Structures are given as structure tokens and as C-alpha cells.
Structure 1
């Protein structure tokens, strides 16, 4: 089994940011919610970009 550690770390970061959205909703912090959404979009976008590059290079 070959683990892609960079994708595992990105998945953990995305999961943590989704969880933090829930926490900030409970705390009623609009700035926190927006920041968590921005982080989530950034992490997911970076992950998809990396996956596309690896797929085009034939390494995935």
C-alpha cells in the first residue's frame, strides 16, 4: 500500500476546517465561519490542483 502523505494531510486539514465551521456556528462568530470557509476552499482547491498535476504527469 502506497500512502500519499500530502493528500492525507490535506484531507485532515479539510476535515478540520469543516469541523471548525460547525464550532464557529455554535459560537455565532461570523468572522470565524467565513475564515473557515476560505481555508476550506483553499485547501480543497490546492488538493485538486495537485491531483490534476500528478494525473497529467502519470504519477497517479
Structure 2
């Protein structure tokens, strides 16, 4: 998968999990090389796990 494909997937994961309710919080997402092999479901699960650790949301 190309870098841009990973970027599109992560953008979709972000908007599906956080949407426009960011509450003045900035997010920086750093995709590791393994992200290119991960399924959409795996990316979504990992992102939501990170949000729960930050107590920002993600349900």
C-alpha cells in the first residue's frame, strides 16, 4: 500500500472516531511502516485504543 493510501485510511479512521468534536485538541498521527500492511479494521482499533489511553474519546 502506498503512503497516500495509508494517509487516506488514517484520515477516514480519524473522522469516523473523532469527527469535528476535537475540543481544541491537535492530533499528530505518525504511521509506522507496519501500517501499510494493516487492515482498515486494525488501524481503527489501534487508533481508538490510543484515544482511550488519552481519554479523548473514541467509541
Q: Which TM class, normalised by the smaller chain length? A: 0.3 to 0.5
Structure 2-normalised TM-score?
0.35
Q: TM-score, normalised by structure 1?
A: 0.34
Larger helix percent: 1
Larger relative contact order, structure 1 or 2 (CA cutoff 8 Å, min sep 6) = 2
Larger radius of gyration: 1
